[in-house]
Every structure is written in structure tokens, then in C-alpha cells.
Structure 1
């Protein structure tokens, strides 16, 4: 398996219950293959709500690096990141910038 890491801001642990209840999290960073990817994790219900709202406002929905998980918690996000790396889905992601 490729080397990778999924990082969260320092305040993630304190705010995790809030993010899980909101059903989305957009501050995780996947570092893999020498590149950094900002991931946008959504649970299905919250994603459907955001899609409906955007369709009503502008007629379209788009979010790069969108990852749908059963629940927005560390376990599910880490499992999804591992899956992205193991299945070589990184090629479908938009990198933030080259990693140092």
C-alpha cells in the first residue's frame, strides 16, 4: 500500500461532535503521492440537502474532492481515505498543491 496520511486541524477532536451532527466536514487533508488533497466529507442526507439548496439557487451542484461516508466521524473518514489510496482513486482528486 502507498504511504499516506489524513490530517485534521488541532481543534478537530473538540469540534468532532458538531461536525458529525452537521453531516459534513471540509478541513481534512489527505497527503499521498507527494501531493495534498483537501477532502470534503458528506453524509448522504446532508449531501442531498445541499444539492437541493444549490439546485434551487443556481441550478447546479459541484464540489471537488467530494467523498460520501456513512457518518462524518474520524473512523469513517480515515477508512475512506485508505480506500482512496488503496484503489488508486487519487487520480480523480484535485490536488491543493505539491507537498513539501
Structure 2
């Protein structure tokens, strides 16, 4: 337990870019942006006192990782040092294939 606490302390107060994604109307009904944000708030923002500097909402449904404009924005902001940590509810929000993520 103490190791988990120390591991998480290094993230306390960092600037966070929140990434929300839904890829279909059906998915929006169950896992929409408000639900994703609420989960992120509960799991990450509140416990670590993260500061949200921006929120990106993506609805791209294609399989091609390189074609997703929102991911280009994420990478551009990272290169410019505009945030310290990228946060999302589930890792699969970045892409369907593990290697891409």
C-alpha cells in the first residue's frame, strides 16, 4: 500500500490534458463524455489534485490511428509542453490496437 502511495505522489498537482472519446451513438449512450469525465474526476483528478488545462473530445470511428485529428492535437500539445500528463477513463480511448496505444 505504501509503495502505491509513493508511486502516485509524483503525479500530484500536475497539469493534465483530459482525453474523452466515443466512437458511436450506441457507445455514447453507455460511455458518453459526461460519464467518462465523472470517472476521471473520481479516479484521477480529485485523488491527485490534478489541474485540467484542456479537454479534448474525440468521436473518430475509423481504425486508422494516423488519421485521428485529436491524436495529432494531443501530440502537438505534448511537444509544446502544454501539459504534464494525459488522462483518460480507459486506455482503449487512444486506439483499438495495443501497439498503437
User: 1 or 2 for the larger relative contact order (CA 8 Å, sep ≥6)?
Assistant: 2
The alignment's TM-score, normalised by the length of structure 1, stands at 0.27
Between structures 1 and 2, the one with greater helix share: 2
Between structures 1 and 2, the one with greater strand share: 1
